[in-house]
Amino acid sequence: INVVQRKVRSRDAARCRRSQETEVFYELAHSLPLPRRIASHLDKAAIMRVTLSYLRMNRLIQSAGLTKTPTEETENPTDAFYQQALAGFILVMTEEGDMVFLSESVSKYIGITQLELLGQNVYEFVHPCDQEELRDILATRPGVSKKKTEKSTEHNFFLRMKSTLTHTGRTVNIKSASWKVLHCTGHMQTFSGDSENAPPAGSFLTLLCEPIPHPSSVEFPLDSNTFLTRHNMDLSFTQCDGRVTELIGYQPDDLIGRSAYEFYHALDFDHVTRSLHILFSKGQVCTSHYRFLAKNGGFVWTETQATVLYNSRTSQPEAVVCLNFILSGVEEADVVFSLEQTCEKPKPRAEKLSVLNEEEEDMEEESSTAKLFLQMKENPEDLLQLAPHSGDAVISLTGAQNHAFLQNLNVCCWS
Amino acid sequence: MSARNTAAGGDDGATGEKPGDALEEEPQGLSVSLSGLMTPTSATGMASGMELPRKRKGSMDNPETKSASNLEEDMEDDQGREPHSQIEKRRRDKMNNLIDELAAMIPTCNPMSRKLDKLTVLRMAVQHLKSLKGATSSFAEANYKPAFLPDDELKHLVLRAADGFLFVVGCDRGKIVFVSESVSKMLNYSRTELIGQSLFDYVHPKDIGKVKEQLSASELYPRERLIDAKTGLQVQAELPVGVARLCSGARRSFFCRMKYNKVTVKEEKDFQAGASKKKESQRYCTVHCTGYMRTWPTHQLGTEGEAETDKESSHFSCLVAVGRVHPHTLPQANGEIKVKPTEFVTRYAMDGKFTFVDQRATTILGYLPQELLGTSCYEYFHLDDLPHLADRHRKVLRSKEKIETNCYKFKTKYGSFVTLQSQWFSFINPWTKEVEYIVSTNTVISGKSNPGGSGDKSEQLSSSKASEDDAKKSQQVPIITGISSASGMIYAGCIGTQIANEIMDYNRMNSSPSSGNTSPFSLLQDKSPLALAQASSNVPNGEVTDVEMPGKSSSEEEARGGAFTAGESLMEGSSQLDLEGVPGLGALSTDEAAMAVIMSLLETDANLGEAVDFDEMHWSL
């Protein structure tokens, strides 16, 4: 009887304690700046994560906020637009990789919600092969000084992060997540807190993370200064959008079979090859500006978003599709840089693989982009696959989406 | 349902442990902490795994939660105890760590030296959060939907991550309805200067069409997008339906050149020189704009939207975008990034033929790029330097390192020599592992038409060169007995070809041999009989395939073309080189011997595979 009584008493005491605790937890949840219905659905661990992130973020803002000027008040109504106007999300993390802030839009890009990520360690979501790179970045401290100064260093890198978004816009379980390449740009900052009370707030990396659009699902319309090319893995051209003629002067035939490496200005060589290295190791990249040598002389400034396509059966990389944004007209058109630009043109070194627009040169060029994709569609396995890394999870697109994609592209070109 | 079970299970742990566990929570938490530390990743992984499904449920606004999980909690007892208690221990451990962290973040907890219990910390955290909320004005009351971070703070983060400015432009006329303060940092215009102006006035004339495309597409495009959304392609779920109907939300991403106002500081100074000022202010920088289309009912236009003229339509559609300037693009306008004028970059094919020439070469060498392109660099090297450069050439083709040459003399268009030093490296196609080309960064060492070889570092090593004062004098090459001056010029092109072939043979030997077809050498052999002997003796099959690899076939093309250009340059070379007493074609036969010496040396090296030692001994430069 005694044993039973004690058991009952202790159980009651424990219950009482737990319920008290739970109550405080939910009180805590509701003091977070979250919509009530969301706050009440957080579990305890999540409450702790989010609370900690909130407090850290608050401290970060306070130590940085001294520079804020009152005039900015006037911009208030439009401040809300930033998040949506950006083609990516904001991520703030500590030196340890704890994610103290993510903008709400994160779920739009990688499917995982803000609350799921807040307070978690970023390494749990980063591709194993990219973790060391990230560690190095987070380790570079911009020199801590005694004074309360804010130093920042710029960073620009590519990370593969887990994404639960499929191309149908559905989200899958985190366990079957795939990798998404994110272009991260931002600054590392070190804050030394107030000398007396607060401990140093430490270093924070503030990043804008932008996914690189996969050529099968470009969300935005492509304007007339953009053309698509397709390459073998050695970067020789295999297909080229006819629009290139008006932009750089080449007929698609001129390029097909040639190595894209021949068309880069030597002064941009370093950063272009660095970008391409990232492309081959991570699956996607966007270059910074480089000079693409134009036909018969001169060059155009170009920025390229490149994506590796994988074979659906073997998961082996098969081709590279580039979305080339031409940023300028032909500059220094009277200067010849390369052998290709001289009259005696070396012949393409590989046999021609396919030529678009051979007899339809006069057709409106709008259709050429779509045709390029139509061609891709005919070899459906090319586009069916987008696993940025071999051995990673694979997302397949269905035929219906391909079709929709074509429609979409048609529309893009039309407009 | 299984997901829900685990979720509930995980949560149960949090909401209420089984009595036994609960009682001994504190001591266990301590004793387990070691093992918990040993496997932190698994613990955190577990935690996240448990939370994720749970949260999704939460965000979908299901009314069911606590009661259900409380029910299930009692059923837990039946399930496997061992793994569960392990999980529990780890969870508690993690929770305790989190509590400690939390305590460290709360000012009121800090001064207290003794460890506070969980409940106290949590209560203090609540107080602290409430005080913060009060300080930074209320999210909850003012905003209908409180955000984790107020918008203005988010804006600061955006600006910190990426230099950019927000702008809103009307679709119909391109009027700038709004632009953020940060534009002054990017484009050096104040926002008041820009608001109300037409965006097109600030866009490069050639980009206006492009920007118009982007603005005008709002009509057609979003309607189609809805269809796309139906097929499930687009990720449109985030958009409220009402907004979507107004054709809003369509994404935009484009680049355009925008005017960069460079003169605000110098304005007074440059007043008199109006022309130059204008030229200065017409600089452009490339802006990457990302954003979306948005439609407002006109009456809602705020104070900043003083777009009176736009009020005729009931809806005002515009582009809301963030423009970002990549810092390195600012000097884009002049095209020339800061590079020393004493430097130029060239690319060679494997065989040393120019495939790319930086225009700075013209000021240094006198040649137009098109004069150099397609010819072999060996045609311009001074004879003295040939062995050294050939050695480096061979080295660079086999190495992934950057190879520095010694100082060497390069013949300018005017017949004089300029002393250069180059850094060579072979660019290897990352995919095929084939040499794509050689990139050479050439630095002028002692200005144009260097009369003496004094600047030549290599000379301190070379006893033969020490005696030379003049580039012209170097016609006599003491070290290669029997070689006569002009032959180098004539056959120079072959050296490169020879080296390229060596390397390809070398590579082929190391990889699988491939069946070849006709040898490009047959062409060469006609031109240079001396190469014939070498080629046939040392190149076992004499075939270099066109088929094998794109990289190879291209250089073959060049090699074949090279045979021609060599021949041509021989002609023009003979006339051009007359001043140096170059013998004509008739001298060919006598030069054969000399070239054979060079070639055999090159060949021997190649076959030895240990080019370095052999070379250094004989040609010590």
A185 neighbors A155 (Cβ within 8 angstroms): yes
Residue A261 and residue A178 share a domain: no
Answer whether B131 touches A (CB < 8 Å).
no
Averaged over A277-286, what is the pLDDT? 92
Number of alpha carbons in the 13 Å side-chain half-sphere of residue A361: 9
Give how far the C-alpha of residue B74 lies from the chain's centroid of Cα atoms, to the nearest Å: 58
User: Is B243 within 8 Å of chain A by CB?
Assistant: no
Interatomic CA distance for residues B52 and A26, integer angstroms: 18
Q: Which residues of B touch A349 (CB under 8 A)?
A: 550-551, 553-554, 557
The span from the CA of A105 to the CA of B151, in Å, is 13
β-partners of residue A227 are: A324
Q: What CA–CA distance (Å, rounded) separates A183 from A211? A: 6
SS (H, E, C) B101-117: HHHHHCCCCCCCCCCCC
pLDDT at A303: 92
**pLDDT given for residue A31 in this prediction:** 84
Q: Distance between CA atoms of A265 and A30, rounded to whole angstroms?
A: 58
Cβ distance B259 to B187 under 8 Å? yes
What mean pLDDT is predicted for residues B361-378? 86
Handedness of CA A35, A40, A46, A52 (dihedral sign): positive
- Sorting pLDDT into bands at 50, 70 and 90, what band is A306? very high
Together in a domain, A236 and A175: no
Q: Is residue B545 within 8 Å of residue B552, measured between CB atoms?
A: yes
Q: What is the ipTM of this complex?
A: 0.78
3-state secondary structure of B329: helix
**A256 plus A368 within the same structural domain:** yes
- Domain end call among A165, A185, A211: A211
Coil/strand/helix, residue A292: strand
Residue B116 lies in a domain: yes
A177 and A231: one domain? no
Three state DSSP letters for B200-219: HHHECHHHHHHHHHHHHCCC
- Cβ(A137)–Cβ(A156) under 8 Å? no
Phi-psi label, residue B372: left if phi above 0, alpha if psi -120 to 50, beta otherwise: alpha
CA distances from B423 to B44, B404, B505 (A): 51, 4, 25
Closest-approach residue (CA) in chain A for B98? A48
Among residues 326-385 of chain A, which lie with CB inside 8 Å of chain B?
A: 327-329, 331-332, 335-339, 341-342, 344, 346-347, 349-350
- Tokens 């045709």: give the residue: A371
Any idea what the CATH number is for the domain that residue A48 is in? 3.30.450.20
- Which residues does chain A have within 8 Å of residue B110's beta carbon, measured at their own beta carbons? 197
Q: Is the pLDDT reported for residue A404 higher than 70?
A: no
Return the residue matching tokens 């392109």.
Answer: B373
- Substitution target in A349, A366, A395, A410 with the highest count of B β-carbons within 10 Å is A349
Q: What is the pLDDT of residue A183?
A: 93
Interface of B with A in 1-20 (CB under 8 A): 3, 10-11, 14-17, 19
Mean pLDDT of A149-162: 77
Instruction: Inspect the interface and report whether the beta carbons of A266 and B326 lie closer than 8 Å.
Output: no
Query: Taking a C-beta distance cutoff of 8 angstroms, is the pair B405, B415 a contact?
Result: no
Q: Residues A255, A145: one domain?
A: no
Tell me whether strands A202-211 and B408-411 are parallel, antiparallel or unpaired: unpaired
Say if CB A377 and CB A369 are below 8 A apart. no
Is the residue at B94 inside a domain? yes
Digit-coded pLDDT (tens) for A337-390: 888 787 655 544 444 334 433 333 333 334 445 555 555 544 444 443 443 443
Distance CA B2, CA A63 (A): 45
Say yes or no to pLDDT of B290 above 70. yes
Q: Which of B288, B337, B374 sits opposite A342 (nearest CB)?
A: B374
Is residue B207 situated within a structural domain?
A: no
Q: What is the mean pLDDT of residues B526-536?
A: 39
Facing B105 at nearest CB: one of A14, A52, A186: A52
Q: Which of A142, A163, A160 is nearest to A152 (CA)?
A: A142
Does residue B123 sit within a domain?
Answer: yes
Across the interface, do A168 and B252 touch by the CB < 8 Å criterion?
Answer: no
3-class DSSP assignment, residue B234: coil
Q: Is B344 helix (H, G, I), strand (E, B) or coil?
A: strand
Q: Is A404 an 8 Å CB contact of chain B?
A: yes
- The DSSP code sequence of B566-609 is HHHHHHHHHHHGGGGT---GGGHHHHHHHHHHHHHHHHHHHHHS
- List beta partners, residue B288: B255, B324
Distance CA(B499)–CA(B507), nearest Å, equals 12
Q: Which residues of A touch B327 (CB under 8 A)?
A: 154
**Distance, CA of B238 to CA of A107 (rounded, Å):** 9
What the block records as the tokens of A369 is 């982009």
Decide if pLDDT at B502 tops 70: yes
On the question of pLDDT at B561 being above 60, the answer is no
* B105's tokens: 């973040």
Is position B130 within any domain? Answer: yes
Contact present, B560 and B493 (Cβ < 8 Å): no
How far is the C-alpha of A205 from the C-alpha of A90, rounded, in Å? 10
Q: Report the CATH number at residue B115.
A: 4.10.280.10
Q: Which residue has the higher pLDDT, B461 or B165?
A: B165
**Domain co-membership, A123 together with A249:** no
Using left for φ > 0, alpha for ψ between -120 and 50, and beta otherwise, residue B196 falls in left
**In chain B, whose CA is at the least distance from the CA of A50?**
B148
Give the pair of three-digit tokens for residue B328.
Answer: 């390195």
Do A53 and A162 have their domain in common?
yes
pLDDT the model gives residue A180: 92
In the predicted structure, residue B87 carries a pLDDT above the cut 70: yes
Tell me, rounded to whole angstroms, the distance of Cα B356 from its chain centroid.
Answer: 20
Q: Token pair of A300, please?
A: 């155009």
Q: What percentage of residues in chain B have a pLDDT greater than 70? A: 43
Does residue A27 register a pLDDT over 90? no
| A207 and A224 fall within a common domain | no
CA B178 to chain centre: 33
A8 falls within a domain: no
Partnered with residue B95 across adjacent β-strands are none
Number of domains in chain B: 1
Last residue of a domain, one of A190, A211, A232: A211
How far apart, in Å, are the Cα atoms of A232 and each of A238, A315, B555?
Answer: 6, 15, 19
Residues 69-108 of A with CB under 8 A from B: 71-72, 75-87, 90, 92, 101, 103-104, 107-108
Residue A173 per-residue DSSP state: -
Q: How many CB atoms lie within 10 A of CB A133?
A: 15
Q: Is the pLDDT of residue B77 over 50?
A: no
Q: What is the DSSP string of A317-381?
A: EEEEEEEEEE-S--BSTT---BGGGSSSPPPPSS-----SSSS-TTS-THHHHHHHHHHHHHSHH
Which one of A183, A211, A239 terminates a domain? Answer: A211
**pLDDT-wise least confident of A102-111, A120-129, A143-152, B550-559:** B550-559
Considering the domain architecture, whether residues A232 and A259 belong to the same structural domain is answered as: yes
B125 lies in which domain range?
86-134
> B231: which DSSP letter?
H
Predicted confidence band at B403 (pLDDT cuts at 50, 70, 90)? confident
Give the model's confidence band at B92: pLDDT under 50 very low, under 70 low, under 90 confident, else very high: confident
pLDDT digits (tens, 9 = 90+) for A185-239: 988 877 665 544 455 557 888 899 999 988 877 878 888 888 889 999 999 999 8
Show the beta-strand stretches assigned E in B110-267. 164-170, 176-179, 251-260
Segment 255-314 of chain B within 8 Å of chain A by CB: 255, 257, 286, 288, 290-292, 302, 304
Q: How far apart are CA B166 and CA B150, in angstroms?
A: 17
Q: Has residue A7 been placed in a domain?
A: no
One domain for residues A369 and A276? yes
Does B455 map to a domain?
A: no
SS3 B133: helix
Interface test with B, best of A23, A75, A157, A309 (most B CBs within 10 A): A75
Residue A261 resides in a domain: yes
What are the φ and ψ backbone dihedral angles of A322, each rounded to 5 degrees?
-115, 135
B101 assigned to some structural domain: yes
Pick from B203, B195, B202: which is nearest to B176 by CA? B195
Residues A397 and A347 in one domain: yes
Tell me whether residues B22 and A48 touch, CB distance under 8 A. no
Out of A298-302, B475-479, B517-521, the most confident range is: A298-302
Task: Please give the interface size between A and B, counted as residue pairs whose CB atoms are below 8 Å apart.
Answer: 404
Chain A: residue whose CA lies nearest to B163: A186
In a domain, A13, yes or no: no
Residues A180 and A263 in one domain: no
The amino acid at residue B198 is: S
Contacts of B355 in chain A (CB under 8 A): 262, 338-339
Contact B292 A121 (CB under 8 A): no
Closest CA to B329 of B423, B204, B168: B204
The answer to whether residue A16 sits within a structural domain is no
Q: What is the pTM of this model?
A: 0.67
Task: Name residue B450's amino acid.
Answer: N
Domain count, chain A: 2
Range of the domain at A179: 25-65+85-211
Strands A226-231 and A99-102: unpaired
Residue B180, in any domain of the structure: no
Q: How many Cβ atoms are within 10 Å of B341's Cβ, its own excluded? A: 10
Cβ contact (<8 Å) for A346 and B558?
yes
pLDDT, residue A334, reads: 83
Q: How far is A331 from A249, CA to CA, in rounded Å?
A: 12
- Residues B270, B293: Cα–Cα separation, whole Å: 41
Within a domain: A254: yes
